[in-house]
Amino acid sequence: MLELAIIPLGYVIGSLPFGYWLPRLLTGVDIRTVGSGSTGATNVWRAVGFKIGLGVALLDIGKGLAAALLGRWVGGDLIGVLTGCAAVVGHWRPLFMRLGRGGKMVATTAGVGLGLATYATLAVVPVWIAVFLLTRYASVASLASAAALPLFAFLVGAGIAIALLHRGNIGRLLHGTENRFDLQLTRRFSRRREASL
């Protein structure tokens, strides 16, 4: 029962509208009335500056991460995913803003990704940076990162699977007992085979 109860808590965590609170508290600006009207870190950065925008991004990442890890701790991977998804929905339509418009979910989704697929999510960060520097569009960088994430998740998963399947080999390599190929023996075998044909 606790496992299911934690999912709505993820929504509440995601609903914390840092993109509204920080600009309002630090500059008096209602972020909903400027720029795109979004409470996301990108609009905050454009409207009130990099430092506050970065603070919002880190807090939004943090709430996604906290929700996913809490769900995972209480009920395992599936509950972690569901709680993380609930946090993303909360960021989009925050309870504390009467279900009004929130952010576009990028930073909160990144936080959920860090909690559930850490290496794949970290691998996407250079993609976001590179695309942003090339285009100067945060939206294009976010879309490219979202497209790259499943690929990186697959590659990281495949890499982990290969490492697990080779754990015996890794142990022998560390102890210096792994078998090496004898290329001379291979060449001799090839010559004998050719001679017999």
* pLDDT tens sequence across 87-105: 999 999 999 999 999 999 9
Determine, yes or no, domain membership for 126: no
Determine, yes or no, domain membership for 67: yes
pTM value? 0.78
Determine, yes or no, domain membership for 132: no
Determine, yes or no, domain membership for 180: no
Question: What domain count does the chain have?
Answer: 1
pLDDT band at 70 (very low <50, low <70, confident <90, very high): very high
pLDDT for residue 1 is more than 90: no
Determine, yes or no, domain membership for 73: yes
Half-sphere exposure of 148 (CA within 13 A, CB side): 20
Determine, yes or no, domain membership for 71: yes
Domain that holds residue 112: 1-116
Mean residue pLDDT across the chain? 88
The one-letter amino acid at 142: S
pLDDT for residue 191 is more than 80: no
- The dihedral through the CA atoms of 139, 132, 148, 158 has a sign that is negative
Interval 125-134: pLDDT, tens: 999 999 999 9
pLDDT for residue 182 is more than 90: no
> What is the C-alpha to C-alpha distance for residues 79 and 158, in angstroms, rounded to an integer?
23
Interval 110-155: pLDDT, tens: 999 999 999 999 999 999 999 999 999 988 999 999 899 888 887 7
Determine, yes or no, domain membership for 149: no
Residue by residue, DSSP assigns 116-167 as HSHHHHHHHHHHHHHHHHHH--HHHHHHHHHHHHHHHHHHHHHHHHHHHHTH
pLDDT band at 165 (very low <50, low <70, confident <90, very high): confident
pLDDT value, residue 176: 86
pLDDT band at 75 (very low <50, low <70, confident <90, very high): very high
Determine, yes or no, domain membership for 89: yes
